[in-house]
Chains A and B, each alone.
Chain A
Amino acid sequence: MNERTMTKVYLYTRFERFWHWFQALMVILLMITGFEVHGLYSLMGFETAVEVHNFVGLLWLGSFAFFAFWLVITGEWKQYIPTTRKLFDVALYYAWGIFHGQDHPVQKTPGAKHNPLQRLAYLGISAMLLPVQMITGLLYYLYNSLGNVSLAPIAFIHTLAGFLLVNFLIIHLYMTTTGHSLFSHIKGMITGWEEIHDTTKIEDWETKATKKA
């Protein structure tokens, strides 16, 4: 505990880092333009906001399909398999341990980049929130070609999910500061190499899922 040696691990490949920042750019652009279209503020003008939102939205939808394809054929999707194991420990760590100098109960490794809480959060977001947002976004975009469909329920879900994504972004940004230093997580996502505390042994169960048969 008191002996804190640091170690660097190569966590994020070039593609993963590219995808992360590319998606981040698209999502933030979509938020900025989306909430302008929602009428919350006037920034680039309604018309421009709509055009940018439509273009970026379609770009995201298309590129996300390729990301999903990448997840499947590389087996990286297994990083998102949810587990309840140590879930409570991790939650407890952020609620208590982090204020008391404890170590994170689950360290990042290339085979298991996400702790159990992250797995659950990212699975929920990638498998639920993002698809909902993309599908309702596509319906919103194609609304005029859909025949006699009301825009209201589509807008209801799309706007609600938009707010939830902002909620995610705020927490996500905050969580990047919870590494061993304020910026170590962000640095990791930029360079691929992340400094972590050299502590716990990686448990077998964490890697088993991603191991090839």
Chain B
Amino acid sequence: MGIHLKQKDRGSPAQTVQEKMAFSRTNDSYRPASFAFRWTAALAAVLVFGILAVTCPAATSVAAAAQEKEALGMQLAKQAVRADKHWTTVDHSKLTELNQNFTSGDQITQACLSCHTDAAMQFEETIHWTWEVPSEKPGIMNGKAGHAVNNFCISGNAMEDKGCLSCHAGWDGRDGLVNCLACHGEEKFPFKETFADLAAFEGDDDPDILEIVKELQSGIRTAVQNVTLPGRNNCGECHFKGGGGDGVKHGDLDTSLAKPNRMLDVHMAVDGADFTCTRCHTTVKHHIAGRLYTRPAAAERKSLIQDDMATKITCESCHSATPHKASTKMNDHTDKVACQSCHIPEFARVNPTKMWWDWTTAGKMKDGKPYEVKGEFGKPVYKSIKGDFIWAKNVVPQYSWYNGSFDNIGIKDKIDPQQIVAVSHPLGSPDDPNARIHPFKIHRGKQPYDKINKQLVAPLLSGPKGFWTTFDMDEAITIGNQTLDVPYSGEFDYVETTYAFPITHMVAPAGKSLDCIQCHTRDNSRLAGITGIYMPGRDKFAIVDTIGLIAVLGAIAGVTLHGLGRFFTRNGREE
């Protein structure tokens, strides 16, 4: 009787025939009131149940996410590095081989090799020793000692440029033995100078000198016995200073990573996970995981769950492909966006990095002497030996599709000097399932090229005949190209070039990662240059928005006119 009663109760005195008619129709044929009420009640219950059924999974997942203290990727990563404590059964200070008076670097290495018999043999096969890595192009060798060039100091001139050799892990360039302590010595010790002093004191029997000699040798022994797995400083000695100084090259690798805090790098942070480089750059027979010029750091994306012997060089190795808390949209991004894109909001966050190097201005003199001008950050903005620089801090990366491989232009490749030459650039496209949108530092500059042969050139820089001594670029190119057996026409000019570095270090704490709006926005999207995908918030179809605008404005105009018509005609009623 529900509806019946209600209608009667609420019926106004002005109830009319029509209502009764509608009423009776309801009554006799349409739906008996009690029947209708029962159905309404039942359906309301079903609807409530339905809504609950729909919302409950969502609610439970929200509850589950709240309960889940840490995202899957975080749990996995913590497990992967759980047994972090390295232990050893050898105390190197007790070894007789290391308790001798060393007079040369090679002696030290021989002492190492007396136990670690194959170590040097292994190491000498790696790029760290050869400075060469075969290119995919036939007859081309990449590497500092090969045909590769960059837009910093340009070329290693087949290791003829002795200035580069300070970073080579040997006692005397490629001629002496491997210097094990370059990577395994915990103490930074001036071996070269100390051995020179010892040689000078040789045969002197002055008691004071003998005392000094004793101290020097004790110092060497302590340094030699203090061996370790490579620490951040060992790798950093060269890799933080690539390109000729702190932070010049990479932008995400500089001396600030020797003792970073969590804000700079959560993995390497002394107050964070305190990773050494080799925690991710895992090593097999002295081959250290990482990208080698055009070759990717990892052939496949695999987590340690899929393959517990996999390299740990990718983020996915430890964090998996679904690193965020369950059912968050971020996990859907990992098929297209590299972790680094959001988690490294800017690079060079502590120390500045070089963004521009213009060789065209090199060679200017002041009072007949080369000079240097310091600028912002206390960094040189001009050096006679190198040209003009621009430095920057907190740099927003540039983003491109990247499948882990690079393409590069070496000393033997033809260039189009009318264009900006991409000396090194990432490969990948939106259709490539291995490609992700990845952040890069793009180092720009102007460097010499052969006008006739249309090739980049490799001027020799250091040494008595190098540009840094002679300030004669033409001669430097002539000699430099000879070291690589590449002909030089004798005419050079300068061409603008770019060199890309993948940004992968300096991962910020999760709270500092990018907001959606940094990319999902119409204006100034960080991914404005990324093509091949539709991004909500960034993208639109002009035709849809045009039709939409017409539909909405048309409706507003229509109803406004109609309403005004009714207003002015007073709905046609005459008062």
Contacts and interface: CB of A to CB of B under 8 A. Distances in A.
Do the two shown chains form a genuine complex with each other? Answer: yes
Contacts, number: 183
Interface residues of A, number: 70
Contacts of A212: 29-30
A111 B25 contact: yes
A70 B44 CA distance: 9
Nearest to B572: A101
A59 B520 contact: no
Nearest to B557: A170
Contacts of A177: 563
A10 B11 CA distance: 9
B541 A99 contact: no
B538 to A, nearest CB: 7
B90 interface: no
A14 interface: yes
Contact of A159 (B3, B21, B43, B548): B548
B39 interface: yes
Contacts of A51: 329
Given A15-B43, A171-B555, A212-B29, A156 B541 contact: yes
Interface stretch (B52-60, B122-130, B417-425): B52-60
Given A9-B19, A38-B536, A15 B47 contact: yes
Contacts of A109: 22
Contacts of A186: none
Contacts of A38: 536-537, 540
Q: Considering residues A7, A55, A102, which has the most beta carbons from chain B within 10 angstroms of its beta carbon?
A: A7
B16 A62 contact: no
Contacts of A97: 572
B40 A160 contact: no
A101 B541 contact: no
Contacts of A39: 520-522, 536-538, 540
Chain A binding site: helix, strand, loop or mixed by DSSP? helix
Interface string A139-165: 000011000001110011001101110
A69 to B, nearest CB: 8
A50 B565 CA distance: 41
Chain B binding site: helix, strand, loop or mixed by DSSP? helix
Given A7-B18, A58-B58, A99-B569, A160 B547 contact: yes
Contacts of A62: 50-51, 53-55
Nearest to A96: B572
A51 B429 CA distance: 29
Nearest to A169: B555
A94 B574 CA distance: 18
A142 to B, nearest CB: 10
Contact of A210 (B14, B17, B30, B552): B30
B16 A198 contact: yes
A152 to B, nearest CB: 4
A207 to B, nearest CB: 7
B167 interface: no
Contacts of B556: 170
A9 to B, nearest CB: 6
A10 B36 CA distance: 14
Interface string B330-355: 00100100000000000000000000
Contacts of A63: 47, 50-51, 54
A107 to B, nearest CB: 8
Given A9-B18, A15-B43, A18-B44, 7 more contacts: A47-B516, A62-B50, A62-B55, A143-B332, A151-B534, A155-B536, A163-B549
Interface of A: 5-10, 13-15, 18-19, 37-39, 42, 45-47, 50-51, 55, 58-59, 61-63, 65-67, 69-70, 73-74, 94, 97-102, 109-111, 143-144, 150-152, 155-156, 159-160, 162-164, 166-167, 170-171, 173-174, 177-178, 193, 198, 202, 207, 210-212
Interface of B: 3, 7, 10-12, 14-19, 21-22, 25-26, 29-30, 36, 39-40, 43-44, 46-47, 50-51, 53-55, 58, 329, 332, 335, 515-517, 520-522, 533-534, 536-541, 544-545, 547-549, 551-552, 554-556, 558-559, 562-563, 565-566, 569, 571-574
26 contacts: A8-B12, A9-B18, A13-B40, A14-B40, A37-B536, A39-B522, A47-B515, A55-B58, A58-B58, A63-B54, A67-B47, A73-B39, A98-B566, A110-B25, A111-B22, A151-B534, A152-B539, A156-B544, A159-B544, A163-B545, A166-B552, A167-B554, A167-B555, A174-B559, A193-B10, A211-B30
A-B pairs with the 7 shortest C-beta distances? A163-B548, A62-B54, A101-B572, A174-B559, A100-B572, A66-B50, A170-B555
